Amino acid sequence: GAEHAQFLQGCAGNVNVKISGREAADTAGQILADAVRAAASSAQASASLDLRVASEVVHLPWVGIPTLAEARQALADAKTPGSKAQPFYRRPWAENLARTLEAGRPPDQADVLVQALKVGDAVFLALPGEVFAEIGLGIKQRAGVEHLFVVAYANNGEIGYIPTAAAFAEGGMEVDASPFYYGLFQLAPGCGEILAESALRVVRTVCAR
């Protein structure tokens, strides 16, 4: 059959480029396209038709779910002119948070899907969210699979950033502001490591003989 080319985004939750603008984007795109063409020209078809799949639902705990009273106070603060709690993204978040808590106590965790797909000698691992690069690299190193492609931003919509445990201690936008951009709550420290262990299990399952 015809070849199928697909772009898959890796773990880049804490990767920030120092360039911007159309010209820089065109240059970066050309470099990538040249590398893809070079790789495609030397690619060889695999004789293996081995197709396997494994998946797990992983429970990632939230931390510090506000009370309804706290949510209403956050909304009042976001509406107050000149308040430090008035950035443009705070009011929609506070409104959504108050509505959610008025409907009842939400679950204490996010249930996310982790999948591994083995096609021949290649394994594709699908993770949710904006996973930090160190987590993806750690999975590849520990898995010991030569052709392992770790794909982030997959399944479950968008649950926000998934930092390393060390990043929580350091703070920063990915840790502190994630709930305001991506949802209502913040993932607890250690969620990245929980995700990595699940990832290794499903990869080992599809690679088992």
Tens of pLDDT, residues 100-109: 999 998 999 9
Residues of the chain where predicted confidence (pLDDT) is lower than 50: none
The pLDDT value recorded for residue 84 is 62
The pLDDT value recorded for residue 34 is 96
Q: Give the rounded distance of the alpha carbon of 179 from its chain centre.
A: 14
Contacts of 64 (CB under 8 A, 6+ apart): 185, 186
Q: Which two tokens stand for residue 187?
A: 């993932």
List Cβ<8 Å contacts ≥24 apart for 71-75. Answer: 71/97, 71/98, 71/101, 72/98, 74/98
The pLDDT value recorded for residue 208 is 92
The rounded distance, in Å, linking the Cα atoms of 201 and 191 is 16
pTM value is 0.88
Alpha helices in the chain (DSSP H): 22-41, 68-79, 90-102, 133-143, 165-170, 173-176, 178-182, 191-207
The pLDDT value recorded for residue 54 is 98
Contact between 29 and 165 under an 8 Å Cβ cutoff? The reply is no
